[in-house]
Amino acid sequence: MLFTSVLRALPAALLFSGTQATPLDFESRQISIDAFITTQTTASINGVLANIGGGSKAPGVPAGIVVASPSRTNPDYWYTWTRDAALTYKALIERLVHGDTTLRQKVDDYVSSQAKLQGVTNPSGGPTTGGLGEPKFNVDMTQFTGAWGRPQRDGPPLRATALAIYANWLADNGNKTYAVNTVWPVIANDLAYAVQYWNQTGFDLWEEVNGSSFFTLAATHRALAEGAALATKLGQTCTGCATAAPQVLCFMQSFWTGSYIDSNINVNDGRTGKDANSLISSIHTFDPSAKCTDATFQPCSSRALANHKAVTDSFRSVYAINKGVAQGKAIAVGRYSEDVYYNGNPWYLTTLAAAEQLYSALYQWDKVGSITVDSVSLAFFQDLVPSVTAGTYAKGSATYTSITSAVKTYADGYIAIIQKYAPSNGGLAEQFDKSTGSPLSAVDLTWSYAAFLTATERRAGIVSPSWGENFNNLPPTSCTGTPACNAKITFNVRATTTFGDNIFVTGQLTQLGNWDPNSAKALSASQYTSSDPLWTTSIDLPASTVFEYKYIRKTSAGAVVWESDPNRRYTTSAGCGSSATVNDTWR
């Protein structure tokens, strides 16, 4: 009966429709937000399903595989990204939990396909040597071997979260055996990866910056916290989850600058760090049972609201279509203001993320029963209600009502941006032009469709189940950190040199300088002889990790000489604290 009542409570537009979206003429686009949401929801769910194996725009693609976009040239997005697929299926699983049982087979297909992908050896490694951090695969589930920003450590925790929601639902609806035997093994692999690699750098969700990503850490904290609880529920073990989770949360605090979240740290990327990465983090880790917790950057927290203002304001002057829009009014939002991809434009999914955070905050304030305005969040609130001052305003008070009304209007403004710049047939690309609003880059981006579904569901008060934030929101008083799972690798290379020359090693790992000669690691000539020109050094590197590297020679004149191609390739030894030696000869 509970299941039936939930199903009936869903708005009709949120239930799956197998019919294709009907193109809309120009006049019908000029309709209310509610009516637009109804039609665009149908287009969006159809858009998602069309891009999954067996769908109309994913011909020949295996069941359960999410194609990022049907676009195969300029740009070529005919791949399956672990991150995109996980966020897409999280949206579908949430719909399943709320009663759309037509999605059950699709979700089971996802479980099966991901179990197979976890076993595919790829440039990031094998199933137990870092391969789960590979960002994308060919749509036929084979490895992608081209150059790319790898590893990307957000994929495993995102997939673990999507499947944890499903496993909990299965266990609560008489399918615990299936959850234990089929779903949990996939989750367990991803959680083991997260435990081992959370404190190693990697590429951010935009696959451009190799450092410490706030989004990756936020996704990892949630996955470890809910993974530990799920393991207990299913009678399984999540080794290291409960101990790593608070340390991840502790590390997350270092991204807070005092006025916004610096989305990428431990890297010199020349950016302010004001990045929609942080908006997407807030909506992914939203817990409907949580209070406005600063430590977990919940949507209604002072930190998350101040960050919302900082990030969105950073786009007010960089896009022509935002020109003249006043503070406190919605604008088109991109990834980050310094973006140059396709000359830097707004994205549908980032604009929707700005709306979704606000809808989630409204949900939380309603449950908490009050709104607190403090020195951190005051500027955000004053953009919307200029007369507001610091204080706590109870639900039902005039100030509470004026704030929530203003926030709702503000959030709806972001949906109106989508309405204004979406094509008449409801197709959502990746970007829209910063001067004209015309769609750009990949057509029918699956993530864009999924982002519309989750934003408008939050607007309707339809939320994901709690992940236990209330029991996992207190960071330790000091970040001692989980001991890094490193292996000590000794690099030996025989390279004949002249006086004043020095040999260095560099490669794709942060510990090797990310291919930057200025950050390369020096080798010692202390054992060098004319008969054995040995250069050597020992470096702590992540255990069970595949990487590419090369040696370089820096001459006394300051020139940098790289050894000949191809890149060298090595897999570090397994086991925390293990050691191994690499013996090479300069070529």
d(CA 75, CA 408): 36
How far apart, in Å, are the Cα atoms of 55 and each of 87, 381, 403, 562?
A: 18, 44, 43, 48
How far apart, in Å, are the Cα atoms of 331 and each of 76, 135, 341, 420?
A: 28, 30, 20, 11
113 within 8 A of 62, measured Cβ to Cβ: yes
Catalytic-role residue among 207, 269, 313, 540: 207
Token pair for 529: 């002889």
169 known member of a binding site:
no
d(CA 289, CA 281): 17
Can you point out the beta strands (E) in 134-238? Answer: 136-138, 202-203, 210-213
Whether 204 is catalytic is: yes
Token pair for 511: 């510990």
d(CA 75, CA 537): 42
How far apart, in Å, are the Cα atoms of 11 and each of 41, 100, 169, 456?
A: 11, 11, 21, 11
116 within 8 A of 47, measured Cβ to Cβ: no
Local structure of residue 570 (DSSP, 8 states): E
d(CA 399, CA 125): 55
Whether 563 is catalytic is: no
428 within 8 A of 452, measured Cβ to Cβ: yes
Closest CA relative to residue 47, chosen from 92, 83, 81 = 92
d(CA 198, CA 175): 31
Q: How many CA atoms lie within 13 A of 180 on its CB side?
A: 12
259 within 8 A of 306, measured Cβ to Cβ: yes
Catalytic-role residue among 94, 109, 154, 204: 204
Question: Longest C-alpha distance within the chain, in Å?
Answer: 86
Question: Residue 72's beta-bridge partner residues?
Answer: 76
Per DSSP, the chain holds a count of helices (H) and strands (E) of 16, 17
What residues are annotated to the active site? 204, 207
Binding residue numbers: 148
Binding residue numbers for substrate: 148
